[in-house]
Amino acid sequence: MTFPNETLNVIMNHRSIRKFSDRPVDTATLEQIVSAGQMASSSSHVQAYSVIAVTDPERKAALAEMCGGQAYVRECPVFLVWCGDLHRLKDAAARYTPELASYEGSAENFIIATVDTALAAQTAAIAAESLGLGIVYIGGIRNRIAEVSQLLELPDLVYPVFGMCLGYPDQSPMSRPRLPVRAVLHMNRFDAATADRELEPYDETMVQYLSERTNGTKDTPWTRLMADKLTQPARPHMREYLRSRGFKLE
């Protein structure tokens, strides 16, 4: 399917890439991609994020194991660790207003840093895809987040939000169907009835997609997948980890 301009073509043809060619990502290209990410909107211009580009094979191998044994973390040319970063804001407060209390570890600032990081990363992802590269996000970076932080020598108030494999694609996977736009777009007020009606046909779409992708070995509806996901505890260590890194979350 084609769209009215090249930007929409890039966005609407996104695929998660988990197999990469041996072609390296040169430093100039990497810096261009991250610079594009920096053009994303940022709350009050705080730019509360940092990104660590890991190219060292031993460090990538260690991170792959910490992420749950995901081979593509080890095999991709560059593994980016996108971090929420309020460390530099704390330093700014200490420099200019040492006599005042600062609230860099508040719940609001945690949200700001996490959102800033996501906006920058997704903008960088679109930039990368426009240049012919591919990406896949790695939430598994939070599986053993304290060990990741130690490996990457992160200071207090800097925390990994997610990883991102980056490289030139060596596969062309199917596009995963998204929820119908009417399931997520509400006009003037939240319309639960209309949104809920869209879920049944979407389940049918996902059953067909999974069956085709897995040669018939999987055909679970999306709503069942989500129900199963929400009945399993997910990374319960995160709260204590964040508190240990200087976030009071109050």
Residue-wise pLDDT tens digits, 4-46: 999 999 999 999 999 999 999 999 999 999 999 999 999 999 9
Task: Give the β-pairing of 158-167 and 78-85.
Answer: antiparallel
CATH topology of domain 6-173+233-244: NADH Oxidase (3.40.109)
Query: What global pTM score does this model have?
Result: 0.95
How far is 30 from 53, CA to CA, in rounded Å? 9
pLDDT at 1 over 80: no
Quote the pLDDT of residue 248.
87
Name the nearest CA neighbour of 184 among 200, 196, 169: 196
According to DSSP, the residues that pair with 162 across neighbouring strands are 82
pLDDT tops 80 at residue 2? no
Identify the residue whose tokens are 């940022």: 42
**Helix, strand, or coil (residue 28):** helix
Q: What stretches of the chain show up as alpha helix (H) in DSSP?
A: 6-12, 27-38, 57-66, 71-75, 87-96, 107-130, 145-151, 181-184, 192-197, 199-213, 222-230, 238-244
| Per-residue pLDDT reduced to its tens digit, 190-219 | 999 999 999 999 999 999 999 999 999 999
The residues spanned by each domain of the chain are 6-173+233-244, 181-219
Sheet containing 78-85: give its strands across: 49-54, 78-85, 158-167, 134-138
What is the average per-residue pLDDT within 114-133? 98
Q: Do residues 71 and 165 make contact, with C-beta atoms less than 8 angstroms apart?
A: no
153-187 pLDDT tens trace: 999 999 999 999 999 999 999 999 999 999 999 99
What is the percentage of the chain residues whose pLDDT exceeds 90?
Answer: 97
Q: What was the pLDDT predicted at 115?
A: 98
Binned at pLDDT 50, 70 and 90, residue 249 comes out as: confident
User: Which residues are CB-neighbours of 119 under 8 A, at least 6 positions away?
Assistant: 40, 41, 42
Please state the rounded mean pLDDT for residues 211-229: 95
Q: How far apart are CA 223 and CA 220, in angstroms?
A: 8
Q: What is the pLDDT of residue 24?
A: 97
Cα–Cα distance between 123 and 41 in angstroms, integer? 9
Whole-number CA gyration radius for the chain: 20
Sign of CA dihedral 59, 62, 68, 70: positive
